[in-house]
């Protein structure tokens, strides 16, 4: 196996103790902070598990996000060299080709690092993810010669226990851990947690780089994400499709009682043949309410009665039509994984502020440059 051609450009590997701990949030915020320091920054997600089709290429969705936001001036397939699809693991186990995959990652890193002052590498889940194809996060960090920052969810005991497991894998690969960022901490407990967490990490030879408070906005899906997850048809209100969903209401009540459950940021899930509820929302007296709703999901693939359907444009909130029934729609919405998307401008701005305010970016730069 060949070695990296570029061994000098500073690089950082963003790892986590679990999936959805906030690697992408940290990566997005750190990219902004590094650029603010007038650094030319590259980005790579060597192993991607959630991908989208772009120009007939499978590209990790986080890579698309970073490129859309920052315009990274690098081919998408180089920033996302390996996309793990449904049959990827089975194929690899039948025809193991570790050197080929490793060299692909190294070539991609060299391309991403071209004329850059620093490269952010984003991992996939905990340190052991990818072991089945001989490219765990710990192995990839070693492969690209990166030092590691571990992201974990806020707290003291459980996060440090989980960090210890991840630390063992990184140390086995002789990868240096710069420190830890506690993410999604209950805002009222940020100050309470900081000192004991710092002491607990110090006992393991690790530094606390930041304590980032939980922000409700980042955990709310948008109507556009809901539409995509449900494979639903947009009926109207596409100009409002990026509204955030703060509350879910299932239309199992009478039209008379619906108003007490519907409030700003609520999304109503209702069968398409509940003409009484839909007509109530179209009533002039409820126009102010509709203007504050996140949106409406019509279920069962049923379009409202023709005279109501033609009036949907009067609703000042997005309406989408899903084929699934109410139960399946509600279950899918409950299980949706909320990811920041390129058009989520409010979330992106918030992430930049959170990382800039609560993470010691200068300490990270000092450790890798």
Q: Distance between CA 48 and CA 130 in Å, rounded?
A: 10
Residues 188 and 285 in one domain: no
* 6 belongs to a structural domain: no
Residues 137 and 252 in one domain: no
Q: Distance between CA 214 and CA 84 in Å, rounded?
A: 30
Residues 26 and 164 in one domain: yes
Domain CATH number, residue 270: 3.40.1390.20
Residue 120 Rama label (left phi>0; alpha psi -120 to 50; beta): beta
Total domains present in the chain: 2
Q: Distance between CA 19 and CA 129 in Å, rounded?
A: 10
- The pTM of the full predicted model, rounded to 2 decimals, is 0.88
Q: Distance between CA 339 and CA 50 in Å, rounded?
A: 11
Residues 49 and 107 in one domain: yes
Quickly count: other Cβ atoms within 10 Å of residue 38's Cβ.
7
Poorest-confidence range of 129-138, 180-189, 214-223, 304-313?
304-313
* 177 belongs to a structural domain: yes
> Is pLDDT of 1 > 60?
no
Asked if residues 150 and 207 have their Cβ atoms less than 8 Å apart, the reply is: no
Give the pLDDT confidence of 251-290 residue by residue, as tens digits: 877 766 777 778 889 999 999 888 888 888 887 556 677 7
Residues 178 and 263 in one domain: no
* 2 belongs to a structural domain: no
* 4 belongs to a structural domain: no
Residues 248 and 319 in one domain: yes
- For residue 244, give its domain range: 223-335
* 5 belongs to a structural domain: no
Residues 244 and 109 in one domain: no
Residues 348 and 307 in one domain: no
Residues 166 and 41 in one domain: yes
Give the pLDDT confidence of 197-214 residue by residue, as tens digits: 999 999 999 999 999 999
For residue 83, the cross-strand partners are 48
- Tell me the C-alpha to C-alpha distance, in Å, between residue 223 and each of 18, 209, 269, 310: 26, 34, 12, 21
Residues 364 and 303 in one domain: no
Q: What pLDDT score does 100 carry?
A: 86
Q: Distance between CA 116 and CA 95 in Å, rounded?
A: 35
Whole-number CA gyration radius for the chain: 23
* 178 belongs to a structural domain: yes
- Tell me the C-alpha to C-alpha distance, in Å, between residue 86 and each of 23, 47, 51, 228: 23, 14, 11, 20
Residues 45 and 186 in one domain: yes
* 255 belongs to a structural domain: yes
Give the 3-state secondary structure percentages of the chain, helix then strand then coil, rounded to 5: 45, 20, 35
Residues 251 and 189 in one domain: no
Q: Distance between CA 153 and CA 163 in Å, rounded?
A: 10
Domain CATH number, residue 212: 3.40.50.300
Mean pLDDT of 344-362: 95
* Neighbour-count burial for 225-243, b at 16+ CB within 10 Å, e otherwise: bbbebbebeebbbeebbbb
Mean pLDDT of 66-78: 92
Give the pLDDT confidence of 90-118 residue by residue, as tens digits: 888 888 777 888 899 999 999 999 999 99
Q: Distance between CA 25 and CA 257 in Å, rounded?
A: 39
Asked if residues 298 and 304 have their Cβ atoms less than 8 Å apart, the reply is: yes
Q: How far is CA 98 from the centre of its chain?
A: 28
> Is pLDDT of 84 > 60?
yes
* 1 belongs to a structural domain: no
> Is pLDDT of 182 > 70?
yes
Q: Is 359 helix (H, G, I), strand (E, B) or coil?
A: strand
> Is pLDDT of 141 > 90?
yes
The top-scoring range by mean pLDDT among 172-186, 257-271, 293-307 is: 172-186
């Amino acid at each position: 196996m060949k070695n990296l051609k570029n061994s000098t450009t500073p690089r950082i590997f963003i790892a986590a103790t679990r999936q959805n701990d906030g690697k992408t949030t940290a990566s997005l915020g750190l990219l902004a902070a590094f650029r603010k320091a007038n650094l030319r920054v590259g980005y790579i997600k060597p192993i991607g598990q959630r991908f989208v089709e772009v120009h007939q290429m499978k590209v990790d969705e986080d890579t698309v996000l970073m490129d859309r936001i920052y315009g990274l001036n690098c081919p998408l397939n180089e920033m996302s060299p390996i996309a793990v699809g449904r049959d990827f693991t089975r194929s690899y186990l039948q025809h193991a080709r570790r050197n080929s995959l490793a060299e692909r990652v190294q070539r991609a890193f060299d391309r991403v690092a071209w004329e850059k002052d620093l490269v952010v590498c984003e991992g996939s889940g905990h340190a052991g993810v990818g072991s089945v194809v001989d490219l765990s996060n710990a192995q990839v960090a070693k492969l690209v010669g990166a030092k590691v920052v571990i992201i974990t969810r806020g707290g003291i005991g459980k996060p440090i226990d989980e960090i210890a497991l991840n630390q063992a894998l990184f140390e086995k690969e002789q990868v240096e851990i710069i420190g830890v960022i506690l993410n999604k901490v209950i805002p009222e407990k940020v100050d309470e947690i900081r000192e004991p967490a710092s002491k607990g990490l110090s006992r393991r030879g690790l530094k606390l780089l930041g304590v980032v408070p939980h922000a409700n906005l980042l955990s709310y899906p948008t109507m556009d994400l809901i539409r995509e997850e449900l494979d639903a048809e947009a009926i109207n209100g596409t100009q409002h499709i990026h509204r955030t969903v703060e509350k879910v209401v299932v239309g199992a009540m009478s039209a008379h009682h619906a108003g007490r459950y519907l409030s700003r940021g609520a999304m109503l899930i209702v069968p398409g043949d509940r003409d009484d509820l839909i007509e109530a929302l179209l009533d002039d007296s409820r126009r102010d309410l509709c203007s504050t709703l996140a949106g409406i999901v019509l279920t069962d693939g049923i379009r409202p009665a023709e005279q109501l359907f033609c009036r949907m444009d009067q609703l000042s909130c997005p309406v989408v039509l899903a084929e699934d029934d109410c139960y399946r729609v509600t279950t899918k919405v409950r299980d949706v994984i909320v990811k920041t998307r390129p058009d989520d401008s409010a979330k992106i701005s918030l992430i930049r502020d959170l990382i800039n305010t609560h993470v010691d970016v200068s300490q990270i730069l000092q450790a890798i440059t």
